[in-house]
C-alpha cells in the first residue's frame, strides 16, 4: 500500500509540475502579447490623441530605427553576446552615407554606409570570437573608438546640404504605411526566418545555449559569432540610414543611447540575457510596447524625466518574470 500510495503521490506531483511548466511556457509565449493588447486597448479608450491616425503613424515612424537595431540585437543576445556599439555604428553609417551623397550619389552613399557598419560588426565579431574578449569590453571599446573617430574626422561638425529627395526614406510612405516602418517589418521578417527556419539560426540558438557543446558537435562557433555581429552591425547601419532620412543631416552625435534602447526592447521581449533563447516577434512587441508607453506619457503631459523611470521599471519587471520562470 505504501509503495502504491507513493507512486500515486509522485504521479500527482509530476502532473502538477507539468501543468506549471505549461502555464510558464504559455505566459512566456503569449504574456507579452496579452500585455501589449491590454495596454493598446486602454490607451485607445482613454486618449483621443493616441488613437489619432497621425499619432499612430508617428509612433511607428519614431520606433522604426530602434526596432531595426533591436532585431540585430536579438540575434546577438541569443548567441550569448550583445553590442554596445550599435548606436555609434548607426551614426557612422549615416555620416559615411552623407559624405558620399555629396561627392557621388545616393546609391553610392547607401552602399558605403552599410559597408562601414558591417565592417564594425565584423571587427566586433573577430574580437569576441577569435580574440575571446568579453562582449561588454569589446563592443564598449568599439563604441568609444567609432564615436571618437567621427568627432576627429569631422571636427564634430554635422554634414548639411543633403538631397531633399532622400528624406522620403525617413518621412515618406507607401499608401498608409511609412517607408521606415515597412523597412522595419521586412527586416523583422528576414531576421525571424534566419533564426527559426535556417540551419544558421539553429547554430545561433545552440551557441547561446551551450557554446562548448556546440563546438564539440562540430559547429564553427567563431564563424557564427562573427556572422551574427556582422548582421547586427549591418542592421545598425540600416537604422542609421533611416535616421539620416529623418533628419536630413549627417550628425556625429546621432543615435546616442540607441544601444540601450535596443537592449531594453529585446529584454522586454523576453530574450534571455544568458543566451540560447529569444524571439524576433517578441522583440518587435517589446519595441512597440516601450514606444507606446513613451508616446502615452508625452500625450498625457507627464514630465519627460519620468519616462526613463517607467522604462526602467518595465525592464526590471520583464527580467524578474524571466528569472522566476526559469526557477520554476
- The CB density around residue 114, as the number of other CB atoms within 10 Å, is 21
Highest mean pLDDT pick, 5-9, 19-23, 284-288:
284-288
**Domains contained in the chain, CATH given:** 32-43+52-327 (1.10.3470)
What pLDDT digit, counting tens, does each position of 250-284 carry? Answer: 999 999 989 999 999 999 988 888 888 899 999 99
pLDDT bracket for residue 324 (50, 70, 90): low
pLDDT at 198: 96
Mean pLDDT of the chain: 88
Work out the number of other CB atoms within 10 angstroms of the CB of residue 230: 21
Tell me: the pLDDT tens digits for 45-83? 988 889 888 898 889 998 999 999 999 999 999 999 999
User: 3-state secondary structure string, 20-73?
Assistant: HHHHHHHHHHHHHHHHHHHHHHHHHHHCCCCCCHHHHHHHHHHHHHHHHHHHHH
Q: How confident is the model at residue 317 (pLDDT cuts 50, 70, 90)?
A: confident
Name which of 4-8, 171-175, 213-217 the model is least confident about. 4-8
* pLDDT tens for each residue of 117-130: 999 999 999 999 99
Decide if 179 contacts 168 (C-beta within 8 A): yes
Q: C-alpha grid cell for residue 32?
A: 507579452
Q: Is the pLDDT of residue 5 over 60?
A: no
* Residue from 206, 223, 300, 314 nearest 268 by CA: 314
Q: Is the pLDDT of residue 171 over 80?
A: yes
Asked if residue 268 lies in contact with residue 290, where contact means CB atoms within 8 angstroms, the answer is: yes
Residue 14 reports pLDDT greater than 90: no
Query: Who's near 89: CB < 8 A, 6+ residues apart?
Result: 83, 117, 120, 121, 146, 233, 236, 237, 240
Per-residue pLDDT, 8: 54
pTM: 0.90
Kindly tell me the sign of the dihedral angle through the C-alpha atoms of 316, 322, 324, 326: negative
C-alpha cell at 215: 563546438
Rg of the chain over Cα atoms, rounded to whole angstroms, equals: 22
Is residue 290 pLDDT above 60, yes or no?
yes
Query: How high is the pLDDT of residue 32?
Result: 79
**pLDDT tops 80 at residue 6:** no
Amino acid at each position: 500500500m505504501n509503495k502504491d500510495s507513493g507512486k500515486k503521490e509522485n504521479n500527482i506531483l509530476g502532473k502538477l509540475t507539468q501543468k506549471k511548466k505549461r502555464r510558464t511556457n504559455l505566459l512566456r509565449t503569449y504574456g507579452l502579447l496579452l500585455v501589449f493588447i491590454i495596454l493598446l486597448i486602454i490607451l485607445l479608450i482613454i486618449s483621443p490623441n493616441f488613437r489619432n491616425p497621425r499619432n499612430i503613424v508617428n509612433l511607428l515612424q519614431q520606433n522604426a530605427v530602434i526596432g531595426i537595431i533591436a532585431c540585430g540585437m536579438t540575434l546577438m543576445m541569443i548567441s550569448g553576446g550583445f553590442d554596445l556599439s550599435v548606436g555609434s555604428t548607426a551614426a557612422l553609417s549615416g555620416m559615411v552615407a552623407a559624405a558620399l551623397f555629396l561627392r557621388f550619389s545616393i546609391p553610392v552613399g547607401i552602399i558605403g554606409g552599410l559597408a562601414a557598419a558591417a565592417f564594425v560588426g565584423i571587427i566586433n565579431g573577430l574580437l569576441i570570437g577569435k580574440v575571446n574578449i568579453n562582449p561588454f569590453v569589446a563592443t564598449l571599446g568599439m563604441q568609444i573608438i567609432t564615436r571618437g573617430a567621427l568627432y576627429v574626422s569631422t571636427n564634430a561638425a554635422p554634414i548639411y546640404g543633403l538631397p531633399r529627395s532622400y528624406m522620403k526614406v525617413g518621412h515618406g510612405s507607401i499608401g498608409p504605411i511609412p517607408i521606415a516602418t515597412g523597412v522595419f517589418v521586412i527586416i523583422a521578417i528576414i531576421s525571424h526566418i534566419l533564426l527559426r527556419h535556417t540551419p544558421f539560426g539553429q547554430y545561433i540558438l545552440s551557441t547561446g545555449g551551450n557554446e562548448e557543446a556546440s563546438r564539440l558537435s562540430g559547429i564553427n562557433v567563431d564563424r557564427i559569432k562573427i556572422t551574427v555581429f556582422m548582421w547586427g552591425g549591418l542592421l545598425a547601419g540600416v537604422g542609421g540610414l533611416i535616421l539620416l532620412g529623418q533628419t536630413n543631416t549627417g550628425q556625429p552625435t546621432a543615435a546616442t543611447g540607441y544601444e540601450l534602447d535596443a537592449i531594453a526592447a529585446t529584454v522586454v521581449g523576453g530574450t534571455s540575457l544568458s543566451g540560447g533563447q529569444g524571439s524576433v516577434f517578441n522583440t518587435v512587441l517589446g519595441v512597440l510596447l516601450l514606444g507606446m508607453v513613451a508616446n502615452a506619457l508625452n500625450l498625457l503631459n507627464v514630465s519627460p524625466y519620468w519616462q526613463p523611470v517607467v522604462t526602467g521599471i518595465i525592464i526590471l519587471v520583464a527580467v524578474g518574470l524571466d528569472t522566476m520562470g526559469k526557477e520554476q
